[in-house]
Structure 1
Amino acid sequence: MKFVTNLSNNPYYNLAFEEYLFKNLPDDEEYVFLWINSPAIIVGKNQNTIEEINQQFVNDKDIKVVRRVTGGGAVYHDFGNLNFSIIKNIEGKEKIDFSVINIPILKALEKFGINAELSGRNDLTVDGKKISGIAQSLHKRKVLNHGTILYDTDLSVLSQALNVKQDKIESKGVKSVKSRVTNIRPYMKEDIDIIEFKEILLKYIFEYLDQPLEEYKLSDEHLENIDKLCKTKYNTWEWNYGQSPDFNWKNYKRFPSGSIDVRLEIKSGIIDNIKIYGDFFGTKDVSELEELLKNTKYEKNEILNKISKIDIVNYLGNITQDDFLELLFSYEE
């Protein structure tokens, strides 16, 4: 096994980095790399992004949202979270086995005084609390195994960023499972910062494998291709939101001028159908507003751009553009 260095904190770049290495590095070697993201929510391949995140909170805190190529639930990353990626070769049609491939991580954590264990299908826990969520993907004769290690993450932000009112969304996307989580820094034998933890963890992994700590150097061509993948896929709305499974959105609110009930059908992140009901008073037919919003990205700025060209009062009575946007996006009761 060899290690690959990645010093980037850009979530879009780092997910592109991971996929590119997974699918393009030589098959005659296995690889491991450790990396740290700036604040980001990483959603599973088969999840509905809108269903997993508190969009308003994410916007306010400038938290990036990125889809990964593996399944499983949404996770929160920040500068206090360390990610590990292991690329291994497989033989035949092996099933995804989380226990064997993650033993080096468990053994490395033991040397820090962290007695973690594999819990359930794909979590690492300490004292019954989750410190790591692990996911895997298969490509040809290789498996990508990656996970988080909550070292010193801001758990208050984690809980708010992934806190969504589920009653307004009907979706076939894979749902995240809520778990009690904890950081491992308080359990460490010696208090060190995450950068030092990252360096020592890598050394412990290779000690357990009884292999020399040898680096695989990426070429300029590799780096150019990673940049390209980042720009054309991971830093796009189409991948991070548009790839979501189809879903429906519904919301209702009473205003002084009357009640409004909206129903949306979203397909590939686009408003495929919209119906607006209520006892509001408008001077224009609300079907004109519905037609205006059909085939629009289900994204706040896109819709704002559309409704800024009309007077919303003419259709829905005495409400503002912000009132209408809250109906389409707000998770509040």
Structure 2
Amino acid sequence: MIFIQPKDTDAAYHFAAEEFCMSSMGQTQDIFMLWQTDRCAMLGSNQIAQDEIDFDLAKQHNVQIVRRSSGGGTIYTDKGTLLCTRITPFSSGDDAKEIGRTQLAEPIIMALQKMGIHAEIKGRNDMLLEGKKISGLAQRLGKNCLCSHCSLLFDTDLSVLESILTVDESKLKNKGIASVRSRVTNILNHLSEKYDTQTFKALFKEALSEILPFELYSFSQEELASIEKIREEKFANPLWTYRTNHNFTHHSEKRLPLGKVEVYYEVKDSTISSCSIRGDFLSIKPIDELEKHLADTAFDKEALMTRLNEIDLLPYLGGIGAEEFLSILFS
């Protein structure tokens, strides 16, 4: 396994680096990246930016806004946060969720335990410490490789997190919690011996190396140029970050156990001519593939069920099945 620790703190750069690694090395090479960002709000690939972030407060706090390619919800990171990426070869039939757990979440938990930090894996994608969230995992599927990544809240400014993120009240209610702030915690708050983020990073890297032996790797100038091209064209491009829905004639939404799903769709002559599927569900493949699959289907429950059963929904909707999906449209 190769270990990459970029010094850049621009989140758009890191997502570009992930995409570069997936396209050029991920099919045959096991890769681990450890990185940090400046103040940043990271949108899930299927979310609507203005529904998730208070733009005015984000600007006041000098928070960068980026959109990642993985599903899930919006997170906040800063220099008190560590971020981990694991890119592994992936074959048809592999279990992405299991790979994310065994190849990323479990080694992180083991490393933290070596440091005397007794965290645990809980729920669909969370890591908890004394019952509160310190990390959430998201994934995306590339050509013959899988990218799993997560954040680790060490000394993150939780007041900024709470201030700029607009959290769906139904999500909090379903989890039985009063606010996003009450749900998360910093690892630093649970240490008997306090130290700064850079010390934590060094100790974590050392503990991780005992679990996942690795070789250090640095990008060449040519590779850095390729990464910068991806950054400029995609992750630093406002058209990607702030993409909005077209004007659709219909809108349905529902919070399901595996995430919130919103469906915007145009119906012409009793047929879905186009649609846009948004939410914080944990997709690992681009949702536009499913949107295109549903286009030109009769707006009829039976017809749509037949259409949905033609493909594997798991990588698109993160475990939400056809019946659940149709319950949004025909509730």
CA distance in 1, matches of 2:221, 2:22: 17
- Is 2:102 the partner of 1:100? yes
For 1:72, the equivalent position in structure 2 comes to 72
Whether the aligned pair in 2 keeps the contact of 1:51 and 1:166 (CA below 8 Å) is no
Q: Any idea what the Cα deviations from partners look like across 1:183-210, whole Å, max 9, x if unmatched?
A: 001223542221122122122112013x
CA distance in 1, matches of 2:95, 2:34: 25
CA distance in 1, matches of 2:122, 2:151: 14
Matches within 5 A, 1:237-316: 237-242=238-243, 244-245=244-245
CA distance in 2, matches of 1:238, 1:222: 24
CA distance in 2, matches of 1:218, 1:237: 26
Which structure 2 residue ranges, 5 or more long, are not aligned? Answer: 171-178, 249-263, 267-331
CA distance in 2, matches of 1:5, 1:120: 29
AA in 1 matched with 2:215: E
AA in 2 matched with 1:8: D
Matches within 5 A, 1:107-122: 107-122=110-125
Q: Any idea what the Cα deviations from partners look like across 1:221-242, whole Å, max 9, x if unmatched?
A: 1100111111111111100001
AA in 1 matched with 2:210: E
AA in 2 matched with 1:223: L
- The alpha-carbon deviation at position 214 of structure 1 amounts to 1.2
- The alpha-carbon deviation at position 65 of structure 1 amounts to 0.5
- The alpha-carbon deviation at position 14 of structure 1 amounts to 1.9
Q: 1:76 to 1:205 in 2, by over 3 A?
A: same
- The alpha-carbon deviation at position 217 of structure 1 amounts to 2.7
- The alpha-carbon deviation at position 218 of structure 1 amounts to 1.6
For 1:147, the equivalent position in structure 2 comes to 150
Whether the aligned pair in 2 keeps the contact of 1:119 and 1:125 (CA below 8 Å) is yes
> Normalization by structure 2: what TM-score?
0.67
- The alpha-carbon deviation at position 245 of structure 1 amounts to 4.4
CA distance in 1, matches of 2:115, 2:247: 44
CA distance in 1, matches of 2:9, 2:26: 25
In terms of mean alpha carbon deviation, does 113-122 or 200-209 score higher? 200-209
- Is 2:37 the partner of 1:40? no
For 1:227, the equivalent position in structure 2 comes to 228
Deviation >4 Å, runs of 4+: 164-167, 244-248
1:208 to 207, 211, 217: 211
- The alpha-carbon deviation at position 165 of structure 1 amounts to 8.0
For 2:283, the equivalent position in structure 1 comes to none
CA distance in 2, matches of 1:192, 1:247: 51
SS in structure 1 of the partner of residue 88 of structure 2: strand
For 1:31, the equivalent position in structure 2 comes to 31
CA distance in 2, matches of 1:12, 1:67: 8
For 1:258, the equivalent position in structure 2 comes to none
Q: 1:22 to 1:191 in 2, by over 3 A?
A: farther
Whether the aligned pair in 1 keeps the contact of 2:26 and 2:89 (CA below 8 Å) is no
Q: 1:64 to 1:106 in 2, by over 3 A?
A: same
- The alpha-carbon deviation at position 52 of structure 1 amounts to 0.4
- The alpha-carbon deviation at position 92 of structure 1 amounts to 3.0
- The alpha-carbon deviation at position 11 of structure 1 amounts to 1.8
- Is 2:54 the partner of 1:54? yes
AA in 1 matched with 2:216: E
The percentage of counterpart residues that share the same residue type is: 34
Q: Any idea what the Cα deviations from partners look like across 1:57-76, whole Å, max 9, x if unmatched?
A: 01222211100010000000
Q: 1:56 to 1:100 in 2, by over 3 A?
A: same
- Is 2:215 the partner of 1:194? no
CA distance in 1, matches of 2:125, 2:81: 17
> Normalization by structure 1: what TM-score?
0.67
CA distance in 2, matches of 1:204, 1:63: 31
SS in structure 2 of the partner of residue 152 of structure 1: coil
AA in 1 matched with 2:42: I
SS in structure 1 of the partner of residue 121 of structure 2: strand
More helix by share: 2
For 1:131, the equivalent position in structure 2 comes to 134
CA distance in 1, matches of 2:134, 2:184: 6
SS in structure 2 of the partner of residue 125 of structure 1: strand
